[in-house]
C-alpha cells in the first residue's frame, strides 16, 4: 500500500461501496461518540473542531438526551395533559 488514500480507495472498491470518503468515517465516529453519551465538548476536541457549536449543530441530534426529548414529544399522556383533555377521560 503506497498511501492511506490508495488503501482506503482500494478497500471501498473491493467492498463495492459507492460515494464513500474518509470523511464519512469521521462523521460516523462523531455520531457514535455522541450516541454513547460522550459530551459534545469532548467530541469537538477529538474531531479537532475549534468551536464546540460546530459539533453541536452537526451531532447534537444524536445525543441520548436529544433523542429522549424527541421521543417524549410523542408521549400521548403528556400531550393530553397539556391540552387539558387528560382529566376528562374515563378510566377503564
For residue 4, tell me if it sits in a domain.
Answer: no
Between CA 73 and CA 89 the distance in angstroms is: 20
Does residue 14 lie in a domain region?
Answer: no
pLDDT reported for residue 53: 92
pLDDT for 2: 64
Question: Would you state the cell numbers that stand for residue 11, as one nine-digit string?
Answer: 478497500
Residue 70 confidence (pLDDT): 77
Predicted pLDDT of residue 4: 87
Residue ranges in the chain modelled with pLDDT below 70: 1-2, 76-92
36 Cβ contact list (under 8 Å, min separation 6) = none
pLDDT of residue 83: 55
Q: How many domains does the chain have?
A: 1
- Assess if residue 83 is contained within a domain: no
Is pTM beyond 0.85? Reply is no
**34 in any annotated domain:** yes
- In a domain, residue 11? The reply is no
74 falls within a domain: no
Amino acid at each position: 500500500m503506497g498511501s492511506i488514500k490508495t488503501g482506503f480507495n482500494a478497500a471501498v472498491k473491493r467492498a463495492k461501496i459507492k460515494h464513500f470518503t474518509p470523511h464519512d468515517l469521521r462523521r460516523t465516529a462523531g455520531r457514535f461518540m455522541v450516541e454513547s453519551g460522550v459530551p459534545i465538548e469532548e467530541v469537538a476536541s477529538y474531531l479537532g473542531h475549534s468551536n464546540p457549536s460546530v459539533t453541536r449543530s452537526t451531532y447534537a441530534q444524536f445525543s441520548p438526551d436529544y433523542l429522549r426529548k424527541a421521543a417524549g414529544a410523542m408521549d400521548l399522556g403528556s400531550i393530553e395533559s397539556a391540552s387539558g383533555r387528560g382529566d376528562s377521560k374515563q378510566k377503564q
